[in-house]
Amino acid sequence: MSRGTGYEKTKRNANVSDVAKAAEVSVATVSRAFNIPDAVRPEVRKRVLAAASSLGYSPNAAAKALRMQRTNIAGVVIPTLDYAIYARMVNSFQNKLSAAGHMVFVATTGWDNAHIFERVRPLIDRGAEGLLLVGAIEDNDLREYLKDKRLPVVTSYSYQINDTVPSIGFDNYAATAELVDYLIRLGHRRLAMISAPTKGNDRQRARVQAFRDTLAENGIDETDIVLERHQALTNGADAMREIHAQHPEVTAVVCSSDVLAFGALAECKKLGIHVPKDLSITGFDDFDFSALLDPPLTTISVPASEMGERAADALLNALTTSRAIQSVKLETNLVIRKSTSHPPKAAK
C-alpha cells in the first residue's frame, strides 16, 4: 500500500551503544561524556562527541526519564488558548521553562471548568512534574489527588491567601471594588454588571461579589443587575442591549472583561448611546486594543505574562529544591480612560 513516500522508519536512531562502538569506549563513558564531562578524559570526550555527532545521536528521552525518574515536563491547564490573556500567560510560562530545558504540555478545559480533573490526570500520567492552573481549585477530588501525588502546583489569576495550594495572582475582589468605588464617586447610582459565568470560577465570583458589596457599602441596595455571559464580543453586545431595554436608568456598566466591554461599547454606538456622556462602561484585562477603542476603555490592567513567568520560576524552583512554593500577590492597575465620566445630569 505505502508508496515509500510515507513516514515508515527505515533506520532506527543511533543509541548509546552505537556511539560507544564508534568511539571505542563503553556506554558508561558515552553517558558520562554527555552528563559529567569532567569525569572523562578530554581526549576521550572529544572522540565520543565526534562519534555522537556524526551518528546524529541524541539521547532517548523516554529511556532517560525512565532511568532518572524525572521527565522535565511541566503542564499547564487553561480554559482556552483562544483568549489573549491565557495565551499570553502560557506564552511566557513556556518561554521560561523551555529556556530551562523543560518541555510543556498544554491542555484546555473549555469554559466549563468542571472537568478540569479529567484534563489534569492525563497530563500527570504522561509525565508532567509540575502544574500551572487557572483559578482556585474547587474540585476536592482534584485537590486530594494533587496532594497525594505531592506535585508542585500553582494556581494563577486569583491570589488565595489561605489556600493550601500556592497561587500567583491578584486580588480580583479588591480590583473590582476599587473600580466600582471610582464609578460611585463619579456620581453613578445605577450600575449594572456584565460578568463571565461564575459557575466554577472563583475569579468571576469575587468580581461580582465586589460589585455587590461596594454598592451596598455605599447605600445602593436596590436589586443588583448582574448578567452572566460567556466571553464573546457578541455576548457583550447582547447583554448591553438587554440592559438598555430593561434598565434604562442604568448609567454605568461594569464589564468583567475587555471583550465584553468592547461588545457593549459597539452596541451603544448602534443604539445611539453616547459613551461616556450617556453611559459609562468599564472593562477588565487592559488588552492592547482597549486603549485604541473609541472611546478608549477604562479598565483594569492585569499582569498576565508576569504570572506565567513567576509560575515558571516557582515550579522550576520547587522541582529543584522540593521546597514549598510561596503564594505571591501581584498588583493590578485601574486604568482610567475615556469610557467613563460623570453620569448625565438627569440621572443624578
Partner DNA sequence: CTGAAAGCGCTTACAG
**Which residues bind to a second copy, rule: CB under 8 A?**
1-3, 5-10, 56, 58-63, 65-66, 71, 73, 80-82, 84, 87-88, 90-91, 94-95, 98, 101, 103-108, 119, 121-123, 125-127, 148, 150-152, 232-233, 237, 262-263, 266, 269, 288-289, 292, 294, 305, 318-319, 321-324
**Which partner, a second copy, DNA, none, binds residue 82 by CB below 5 to 8 Å per kind?**
a second copy
Nearer to DNA, 34 or 170 (CB): 34
Q: What are phi and psi of 98, to 5 degrees?
A: -70, -30
Nearer to a second copy, 2 or 223 (CB): 2
322: left (phi over 0), alpha (psi -120 to 50) or beta: left
> Nearest approach, Cβ of 156 to DNA (angstroms)?
31
**Which partner, a second copy, DNA, none, binds residue 266 by CB below 5 to 8 Å per kind?**
a second copy
> Nearest approach, Cβ of 180 to a second copy (angstroms)?
25
Q: Are 141 and 175 in contact (CB under 8 A)?
A: no
Pairing of strands 167-170, 191-195: unpaired
Nearer to a second copy, 128 or 225 (CB): 128
Nearer to a second copy, 5 or 140 (CB): 5
Nearer to a second copy, 44 or 266 (CB): 266
Nearest to 275 by CA among 302, 304, 244, 301: 244
Q: Are 262 and 293 in contact (CB under 8 A)?
A: yes
> Nearest approach, Cβ of 212 to a second copy (angstroms)?
29
> Nearest approach, Cβ of 33 to DNA (angstroms)?
8
**Which partner, DNA, a second copy, none, binds residue 269 by CB below 5 to 8 Å per kind?**
a second copy
Residues that bind DNA (CB under 7 A): 12-13, 15-17, 24-32, 34-36, 38-41, 44-45, 57, 59-60, 63-64, 66-69
**Per-residue cell: 108:** 484546555
> Nearest approach, Cβ of 130 to a second copy (angstroms)?
9
> Nearest approach, Cβ of 68 to a second copy (angstroms)?
9
Q: Are 152 and 166 in contact (CB under 8 A)?
A: no
Collapsing DSSP to helix, strand or coil, 73 comes out as strand
Q: Are 285 and 257 in contact (CB under 8 A)?
A: yes
**Which partner, a second copy, DNA, none, binds residue 32 by CB below 5 to 8 Å per kind?**
DNA
- Total count of residues recorded for the chain: 348
**Per-residue cell: 206:** 469575587
| Sign of CA pseudo-dihedral 65, 70, 71, 77 | positive
159: left (phi over 0), alpha (psi -120 to 50) or beta: beta
**Per-residue cell: 116:** 478540569
Collapsing DSSP to helix, strand or coil, 123 comes out as helix
Nearer to a second copy, 102 or 207 (CB): 102
> Nearest approach, Cβ of 128 to DNA (angstroms)?
16
Q: H or E segment at 266?
A: helix 258-271
> Nearest approach, Cβ of 131 to a second copy (angstroms)?
11
Q: What are phi and psi of 328, to 5 degrees?
A: -135, 135
**Which partner, a second copy, DNA, none, binds residue 329 by CB below 5 to 8 Å per kind?**
none
Instruction: Write out the E strands in 225-322.
Output: 225-228, 252-255, 280-282, 299-301
Nearer to a second copy, 122 or 248 (CB): 122
